Structure 1
Amino acid sequence: MRKWVTTSIFLYFLYGLVVYWYLFIFSGTGVPAPYEGTSADPATFMSGRELLLTQEYSTIRNFLYFVTIPFEWFLLFIFMISGLSRKMQDWSSASSNLFTIQSAIYFFWLSLFVSVISLPVNWIGFRISKMYHITTQSFSTWMKDQLIDFWVNYLLMTVIIIVLYSLIKRFEKRWWLYAWLLSIPFSMFLMFIQPVVIDPLYNDFYPLKDKLLEEKILEIAEKADIPAEHVYEVNMSEKTNALNAYVTGIGSNSRIVLWDTTLNRLNEDEILFIMAHEMGHYVMKHIYVGIAGYLLLSLAGLYIIHVLMRMIIARYGGMLKIRSMRELAAFPLFLLLLGTLTFASSPLSNTVARYQEKSADMYAIEMTNNHEAAISSFQELSRAGLSEVNPPALVKIFRYTHPTMLERILYLEEHGNRN
C-alpha cells in the first residue's frame, strides 16, 4: 500500500508541475498579431489593470481546475487501498439487513470523506474568486451552498447506487445495458424538475421585473415561434459579479433565465442579443441534441467501465480490498473510472457544445441584426468575469463549452462585413 500511495503522490506532484509549466511559463497571452487593435483585442476594451487581473485570475483558475480534477480520483483510490471502503461496507452491512439502508449508510460515509478532504481545496477556489471580486458571497452563504450540494448529490447518488447494485447483483454481465436504459427516463426526469425543484434551492427565480424589456424579448420569441410567457431573472448579484443567461429544463418546465448581473451591466440591445442567442438553442433543439449525445456517450462509458472494473478487480482486487464488482466496496472504483472517462471525453463533448454555441450566436445576429451590440456584449462578458479572450489550447479543449471570445467576436465581425 505504501508503495502505491507514494507512487500516486509522486505522479500527482509531477502532473502538477507539468500543468504549472504549461499555464504559467509555456503558454503565451494576448491575441495573435493580425488581430491586435481590433474589437477582439482585450487591450481595446480593458484597462491595463483589467488586463493584468484577467491574466492572473484566468491562469490561477485554470491551474486549480486541472490539479483538482485528479485530486478526487486520488481520494477515491486512497479510500479503497487503505481499506476504508471495505470497512465502511462491513459496518453498513452490520447496521441493517436491508440493502437500501446499507447503501445509504455506505455512501454517506464515502461522500463525507471526499467532501471533508476536498473542502480546503474548494475554499481556496472561493477565496481566489473573492480576491479578484468575481465572487460576492460571504463565507456563510458559500458554506450553505456547499451543504446543499452535499445533500442534493447524496440523495440522487444514493438512488443511483441502489438501482445500480440491484442490477449488478441480478445481471452481472449485462448490468451496464439495463443501467443505461433506466438512465434515459431518469435523465429526462431530472431535466424536467431541475428548474422548479433543484435550482430554487440555490437562488430566487422570478419573472423579469422590467416588463417593457420582457415584452421586447417575447416579441423576438414570437417571431421564432417559441411559446414563451415569461422570461425569468435570478438574483445572482448576491453571489457573483459575472454575467450569464441560459436555457434550462424541458417540456413545460423549459425556462429562459437571465442573471440580474447581466441586466445591471448590459444595455437593452446587448440583452436582446443575449436572449436571442438563448432562443436559438431552443429553436435548434440543442437541449435535446445534448441529451441524445450524453446518452450515446454514457452507453459507451458504462460498457467500458464494466470491462475495466472486471479487469482491475481480477488483477488488483486484493490490493484494493475488493473481491467483486457486486460489492459496495467497489463503488469508489466505479466513480474513479467514471470521472476519468468523463474527463477524457470532454474534448469531444466540448467541441459539439462549441458548435452549438456558434450556431446560436449566428441565429441571434440574424434575429437582431445588431453587430455592435453583439460584440460589445461579448466584450462586457469578458470584463465582468475576467475571462481570457484567447486561452491556451489545452484550456480551450478541456474547459470551453463556448467558442473563445476571440473566435466569437471575429466571426461576428466577418458576418457584419459580408452584410
Structure 2
Amino acid sequence: METNSWLLFILVILVGNYLLELFLSYLNIKALLNEVPKEFQDVFDREEYRKSQEYTRATSQFGLIESTVSTLFVLGFLLVGGFNSVDLFVRSFQLGSIVSGVVYIALLLLLSSLLSLPFSFYSTFVIEEQFGFNKTTIKTYCADILKALFLSVLLGVPVLYLILWFFETAGDLAWVYCWIGLTLISIVLQFLAPVLIMPLFNKFIPLEDGTLKEKVLAFAKSAAFNIQGIYTMDGSKRSTKLNAFFTGFGKFRKIVFYDTLLEKLDEDEVVAVLAHEMGHYKHRHIFKMMVISVCHTGLLFFLLSLFIGNEKLFAAFQMEHVSIYGALIIFSFIFSPLNLLLGILVNVLSRKHEYQADRYAADSPSRGAALVSGLKKLSVANLSNLTPHPAMVFFHYSHPPVLARIWKLRGKTENGDV
C-alpha cells in the first residue's frame, strides 16, 4: 500500500465516521413521536414530553456541531502537517525519546482538550441550564478541570512513560508486558478509585438511619449480598439527573445513591433500583465486562506492535521521524473502525446484561412493579428519549431503551402497544 493510499484510508475513516454520526442523529430525531407513549401517559404530561423531545434535538444538534468542528480541525491538522510540527517542536528540546514521547502526546491531548472546552462549557451552562439540569457553578466547573488535569498528570504520565519504555526496551514481547502492566494498574485503580479519586469530586455521606436504610439492608441480607456501607453522593452539586451505582469489590462493596435519586423515588423504587444493580453482580456482569476490557487492551497492544516502525504510515502524517510515540497517535486512527465494531458487540452484550439485571430485580418479591415505576420516574427526571431509532441503539446504546425494558418486565414484545 502506497503512502497516499494510507492517507486516503485515514481520510475515509475520519469522514466516514462523521457521516455515520450525522446519519444516526438524523434518524434519531426523525424517530421522535408527537404523542406521549401510552406507557408513560401516567407520568409524562404533554409539556414535559415536548421538553424531553426538545432536549434530544438540542443535544443531538449540538453534538453534530461539535463533531463537525472537531472533524474539520483534525482533517486540517493532518493535511497541513500539524503532527509533524508538534513533533519537531518537542524534539528541539532534546529530552530523550521517552520523555519527548510523553510531552508530545501530552501536548496533543492538551490541544484536544482546549478544542473541546468551549463545547463543554456551552453544554453545561447553556443547554443543561436551559433544560433545568445544571447545578454546577463556575467555581466547581473550573475545580473539576484542575482536578482532572492533576489526575491525568499523576496517573497518566507514569502509565504512558511505562508503555513507551516497554516498547523501546522489551523487543517483540513489549506488547505483552504493556498488556500485563496496564491490566494490573487498572485492577489497582478499581480499589483505589472509591477511596482516593471519587472523593476528590464528590462528598459521600453514610445513609441516615431510617426505614430506607432498613429496607436496603434487609434486601441485601435476603440476597446474601455483603456490603461495606450505604452512601449518598451529592450529585445535585452538578446536576438534577438521577443515578445510583455500586463501587468496590468483595467485602469493600459500597452502594451509592445520588441525593437527587432519593428525592424523586420512593423507598420501594429505590430498593428496586438497588436490586437491578445487585443483579449485575449476581450474574457476574462486572467480572465479564472486565475480562472483555482486558482482552480488548491486549488486542490493541498486539495490533499496535504490528504498526510500529511503518514508515509509509508516518509519511501519510507528513512526519519526518519514525517514533514509538508517533505510532501510538497514528494507530489511534487506524484502530478506529475495529474499535467501532468491538464497541457494537460490547453494547449488544451490555444491553443483554441490563435485561438480565432487570429480570433479577423483578423476580425479587414485589420488586417488578416498583422497578417499572422507578424506571419511569428516572426517564421523566432525566428527560430521556423514549423512542430512539433502532440504528442509534444498535451503534451507541449500552442500555436498552426504557420502553423496551418495561415491555420485557411486563412480558410484552417490542411489537406491543406503546
Q: Give your verdict on TM over 0.5.
A: yes
Q: Given the alignment of the two structures, is residue 185 of structure 1 paired with residue 184 of structure 2, yes or no?
A: yes
Give, in whole Å, the separation in 2 of the partners of 1:356 and 1:94.
Answer: 51
Query: SS of the residue aligned with 1:22?
Result: helix
The sequence identity of aligned pairs, in percent, is 24
Q: Given the alignment of the two structures, is residue 351 of structure 1 paired with residue 351 of structure 2, yes or no?
A: no
Give the match for residue 334 of structure 1.
331
Give, in whole Å, the separation in 1 of the partners of 2:170 and 2:178.
Answer: 10
Give the match for residue 47 of structure 1.
45
Q: 2:107 aligns with which of 109, 115, 118?
A: 109
Displacement of 1:401: 1.6
Contact 2:361 2:367 in 1 (8 A): no
Give, in whole Å, the separation in 2 of the partners of 1:121 and 1:161.
Answer: 27
Query: Quick one: structure 1 residues 339 and 241, their matched pair in 2 at CA, closer, same or farther if it must change by over 3 Å?
Result: farther
Give, in whole Å, the separation in 2 of the partners of 1:189 and 1:70.
Answer: 38
Residue identity in the other structure for 2:201: Y
Query: SS of the residue aligned with 1:258?
Result: strand
Q: Given the alignment of the two structures, is residue 363 of structure 1 paired with residue 336 of structure 2, yes or no?
A: no
Displacement of 1:193: 1.1
Contact 2:229 2:253 in 1 (8 A): no
Query: SS of the residue aligned with 2:257?
Result: strand
1:265-276 aligned at under 5 Å gives the runs: 265-276=264-275
> What do residues 175-233 of structure 1 show as CA deviations (whole Å, max 9, x unaligned)?
33332222221111121111111211111112112443122211111122222131111
> What do residues 160-188 of structure 1 show as CA deviations (whole Å, max 9, x unaligned)?
32112112222454433332222221111
Displacement of 1:71: 6.3
Contact 2:24 2:391 in 1 (8 A): no
Contact 1:234 1:259 in 2 (8 A): yes
Query: Quick one: structure 1 residues 20 and 97, their matched pair in 2 at CA, closer, same or farther if it must change by over 3 Å?
Result: closer
Displacement of 1:323: 5.5
Give the match for residue 388 of structure 1.
385
Structure 1's unaligned 5+ residue stretches are: none
RMSD of aligned residue pairs (Cα, Å) = 3.2
Q: 2:26 aligns with which of 16, 21, 29?
A: 21
Displacement of 1:325: 5.7
Give, in whole Å, the separation in 2 of the partners of 1:408 and 1:320.
Answer: 46
Contact 1:246 1:278 in 2 (8 A): yes
1:56-95 aligned at under 5 Å gives the runs: 56-65=54-63, 68=66, 81-95=79-93
TM-score w.r.t. the length of structure 1 is 0.84
Give, in whole Å, the separation in 1 of the partners of 2:380 and 2:69.
Answer: 30
Displacement of 1:250: 2.6
Displacement of 1:124: 2.8
Displacement of 1:235: 0.4
Query: Quick one: structure 1 residues 145 and 205, their matched pair in 2 at CA, closer, same or farther if it must change by over 3 Å?
Result: same
- How many aligned residue pairs are there? 404
Displacement of 1:241: 1.1
Q: Given the alignment of the two structures, is residue 168 of structure 1 paired with residue 167 of structure 2, yes or no?
A: yes
Contact 2:179 2:297 in 1 (8 A): yes
> What do residues 258-301 of structure 1 show as CA deviations (whole Å, max 9, x unaligned)?
10000011001101101111222222222211100111222223
1:116-131 aligned at under 5 Å gives the runs: 116-126=114-124, 127-131=126-130
1:300-319 aligned at under 5 Å gives the runs: 300-307=299-306, 313-319=310-316
- Of stretches 279-288 and 89-98 in structure 1, the one that deviates more from structure 2 is 89-98
Give, in whole Å, the separation in 2 of the partners of 1:240 and 1:112.
Answer: 26
Contact 2:13 2:336 in 1 (8 A): no
Query: SS of the residue aligned with 1:231?
Result: strand
Displacement of 1:108: 3.1
Query: Quick one: structure 1 residues 17 and 370, their matched pair in 2 at CA, closer, same or farther if it must change by over 3 Å?
Result: closer
Give the match for residue 319 of structure 2.
322
Give, in whole Å, the separation in 2 of the partners of 1:164 and 1:257.
Answer: 34
Displacement of 1:94: 4.6
Query: Quick one: structure 1 residues 61 and 176, their matched pair in 2 at CA, closer, same or farther if it must change by over 3 Å?
Result: farther
Give the match for residue 279 of structure 1.
278
Give the match for residue 4 of structure 2.
none
Give the match for residue 204 of structure 2.
205
